[in-house]
Amino acid sequence: MKEWMLRAGALGFCCCTVNAHANFACKADPSAFLGIDAGGTVLVTVIGTGRVKVCNLELEQGGITARTCAGWYSTFMTARMARTPVTLYFDETNPNNGGSNSCTTLGEWTVRVPYYIEFQP
């Protein structure tokens, strides 16, 4: 029984480790740059990359609805006023992220789709 428990525990650990490698987090600094282009695309400075397009206030983009984008923009504005960075979480397996697997590979002025943003004042 003890050997079975060890094997089951090792299998569970392997499954969790595989999923963890598909995600990465980047700091964004809305106080450095936060903008909206004529088409409603929200851009923010990602530290180590530059300006990145993260969502659109008018159209669904990469599975992010305009309503979610409006909430994210509000969060960016709050962080800008507080002069505090936010954390953007990306999934490297999302085809909208162009195979990026780190903050420095996101590419400036590109559309990249985080799945979660976090603001901790």
pLDDT tens digits for range 67-101: 999 999 999 999 999 999 999 999 999 999 999 99
Q: What are phi and psi of 114, to 5 degrees?
A: -70, 155
pTM of the predicted structure, to 2 decimals: 0.79
6-35 per-position pLDDT tens digit: 444 444 433 333 444 479 999 999 999 999
State which residues form the domain around 88: 23-119
**Mean pLDDT of the chain, nearest integer:** 86
Beta bridge partners of 99: none
Q: In terms of C-beta distances under 8 Å and separation of at least 24 residues, what long-range contacts does 58-62 make, across chains too? A: 61/111, 61/113, 62/94, 62/96, 62/111, 62/113
- The whole-number pLDDT of residue 7 equals 44
Q: How many domains does the chain have?
A: 1
Measured distance CA(65)–CA(73) in Å, rounded? 12
Q: Is residue 7 part of a domain?
A: no
Burial of 49 (0-12, 13-18, 19+ CB in 10 A): buried
48-64 per-position pLDDT tens digit: 999 999 999 999 999 99
Q: pLDDT confidence of 121, banded at 50, 70, 90?
A: confident
Q: Is residue 10 part of a domain?
A: no
Q: What is the CATH number of the domain that holds 72?
A: 2.40.50
Q: Is residue 63 part of a domain?
A: yes
Q: Is residue 1 part of a domain?
A: no
115: nearest Cα among 22, 30, 29: 22
